[in-house]
Homo-oligomer: A and B are copies of this chain.
């Protein structure tokens, strides 16, 4: 899979050279982001395509360019838990362990930038700034799952959906009106609920005039204050 992706898109980066204007500015060519830009390869994924599978070796670290990605774990009986959603500019796949414990899939048609984990590891050895940056990414990841644990373990359906909407609002450009790239099923599996419960919670909030749903995938926050009160 990755071999294929490499074929189709690596060409864009083959033979790329540091331009004279970049050469002089050392800081522009260092750090994680810079390395990603220089050495990363752009990969396209269709809607629902798998970026990596569960328990697959964690060879690459990714950054979302366009579209969005979900990570999940699937149980034998079909139950699914979504670990996180990644939107443009988010980094994912840095598992620090040998293999991915969650699978990753494109939610919509998506483009990611991928860089070898081993490349980053060796970079981190010489460049302390890269090492620090990697830890920060891991820290954000851990923070998020910690919050998610409290959400899943200790909150009601209403609180979960409210927290989710606030999270999405904060992550989108426009904090009062935004699109949801994921389906109700994805939201439900992210929040540990059923689609029906998610739908009901949303309808309830719309009835209370806290939000408006111009369409199923579009949300408008009408009463931010009320929201803060009902989130976890």
Q: Footprint of B on A, CB under 8 Å?
A: 73, 75, 79-81, 83, 95-97, 101-102, 124-125, 128, 131, 135-136, 138-143, 145-150, 152-155, 189, 191-192, 232
Identical copies of this chain, number? 2
B-chain residues with CB within 8 Å of residue A141 when the two chains form the complex: 142
B-chain residues with CB within 8 Å of residue A96 when the two chains form the complex: 135-136, 138-139, 142
Given A128-B125, A142-B142, A146-B102, residue A192 in contact with residue B152 (CB < 8 A) = yes
Complex CA–CA separation, A75 to B102 (angstroms): 28
The one of B139, B148, B232 in contact with A75, judged by C-beta atoms closer than 8 angstroms, is B232
Q: Are B95 and A139 in contact, with the CB atoms below 8 A?
A: yes
User: How distant is A97 from chain B, measured CB to nearest CB, in Å?
Assistant: 4
Q: Are A149 and B148 in contact, with the CB atoms below 8 A?
A: yes
B-chain residues with CB within 8 Å of residue A147 when the two chains form the complex: 101
Q: Are B143 and A83 in contact, with the CB atoms below 8 A?
A: no
Complex CA–CA separation, A189 to B73 (angstroms): 23
Given A75-B232, A96-B135, A124-B131, residue A149 in contact with residue B154 (CB < 8 A) = no
Complex CA–CA separation, A81 to B232 (angstroms): 12
The one of B73, B140, B146, B152 in contact with A73, judged by C-beta atoms closer than 8 angstroms, is B146
B-chain residues with CB within 8 Å of residue A189 when the two chains form the complex: 153
Residue of B nearest to A79 (CB): B154
B-chain residues with CB within 8 Å of residue A145 when the two chains form the complex: 142, 145-146, 149
The one of B95, B128, B135, B149 in contact with A81, judged by C-beta atoms closer than 8 angstroms, is B149
Q: Are B143 and A97 in contact, with the CB atoms below 8 A?
A: yes
Known: A95-B139, A96-B135, A97-B142. 11 other contacts (CB 8 A): A81-B153, A96-B142, A97-B136, A124-B131, A125-B131, A141-B142, A142-B145, A145-B145, A149-B149, A152-B152, A153-B189
